[in-house]
């Protein structure tokens, strides 16, 4: 029986190796390119964050940041460099997510630092609209674990406030469930609510997953004033996972079954 914890790491390592060797498969590009996400989601026609500008650390100007937005590197496999910028006083922007305030000099300094950490990726950045949380309870991202484009056994709620990220897991029946080993990665917040409309959320996740030929896809969806808005999609869940034995077995079996049906990267 496949261990989902081990399979995720193996898949990620193989796919990143293929990328280093020059593989341009569109599914693999989702691992490292935010613009690939925009291209995919535009093609599917699901709601997602509007791309406002494409800039470099040299061309970024205050007019690019005139409305609340998210600045992030186009290339990169982690969240390093993702910065929320809300206009404050003259020449000032605040990032409530991280609890920091910036001016143009410190924004550019941060961009240069990110490039130094990001494995030689190009100086290409996206400025996206900032999603506004519904009812001001803090922006919640629901990560839907989709197998074979259809099966969704788990949804992970996540929220970052003041630089602190918390999570909580739910079954598709909306019931909270413990699926990871104690203390794994981010702390659990028992106050995080489940999706308002699980059926609608799963419908969006399945629509996206049906367009991506891969046995597993994590579809991240924000709950916003615009309704459900797709944040990003990821054909892995990172190099590591910490699911407890029962869920490791259940997810591993779903992955095995999905691999028999999918024709995309294996």
Domains in the chain, please, with CATH?
Answer: 4-22+134-259 (3.30.470.20), 51-129 (3.30.1490.20)
Q: Determine the pLDDT at residue 10.
A: 85
Residue 119 confidence (pLDDT):
67
According to the 3-state scheme, what is the secondary structure of the chain? CCCHHHHHHHHHHHHHHHHHCCCCCHHHHCCCEHHHHHHHHHHHCCCECCEEEEECCCCCCHHHHCCCEEEEECECCCCCCCEEEEECCCCCEEECCCCEEECHHHHHHHHHHHHHHCCCCCCCEEEEECCCEHHHCCCEEEEEEEECCCEEEEEEEEEEECCEEEEEEEECCCCECCCECCCCCCCECCCCCCCCCHHHHHHHHHHHHHCCCCCEEEEEEEEECCEEEEEEEECCCCCCCCECHHHHHHHHHHHHHHHCCCCCCC
Distance CA 178, CA 157 (A): 13
Rounded CA separation 118/85 (Å): 21
pLDDT score for 32:
84
User: What pLDDT is attached to residue 262?
Assistant: 62
The first and second tokens of residue 63, run together, are 């007019």
CA angle 22, 25, 31 (to 5 degrees): 85
User: Which residue ranges in the chain fall short of pLDDT 50?
Assistant: 263
pTM beyond 0.85, yes or no: yes
Res 78: pLDDT = 64
């Amino acid at each position: 029986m496949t261990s989902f914890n081990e399979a995720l790491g193996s898949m990620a390592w193989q796919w990143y190796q293929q990328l280093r060797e020059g593989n341009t498969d569109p599914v693999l590009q989702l691992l490292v390119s935010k613009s690939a996400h925009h291209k995919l989601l535009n093609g599917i026609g699901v709601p997602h964050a509007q791309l406002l500008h494409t800039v470099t650390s040299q061309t970024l100007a205050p007019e690019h940041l005139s409305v609340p937005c998210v600045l992030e590197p186009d290339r990169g496999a982690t969240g390093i460099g993702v910065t929320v910028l809300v206009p404050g006083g003259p020449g000032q922007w605040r990032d409530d997510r991280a609890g920091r305030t910036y001016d143009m000099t410190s924004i550019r300094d941060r961009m240069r630092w990110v490039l130094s950490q990001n494995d030689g990726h190009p100086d290409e950045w996206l400025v996206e609209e900032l999603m506004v949380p519904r009812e001001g309870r803090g922006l919640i991202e629901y990560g839907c674990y989709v197998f074979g484009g259809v099966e969704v056994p788990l949804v992970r709620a996540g929220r970052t406030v003041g630089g602190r990220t918390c999570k909580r897991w739910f079954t598709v029946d909306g019931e909270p469930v413990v699926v990871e080993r104690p203390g794994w990665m981010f702390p659990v917040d028992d106050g995080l609510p489940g999706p308002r409309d699980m059926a609608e959320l799963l419908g969006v996740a399945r629509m996206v997953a049906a367009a991506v030929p891969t046995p597993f896809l994590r579809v991240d969806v924000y709950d916003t004033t615009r309704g459900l808005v797709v944040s990003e999609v990821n054909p892995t869940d990172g190099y590591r996972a910490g699911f407890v034995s029962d869920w490791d077995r259940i997810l591993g079996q779903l992955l095995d079954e999905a691999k028999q049906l999918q024709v995309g990267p294996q």
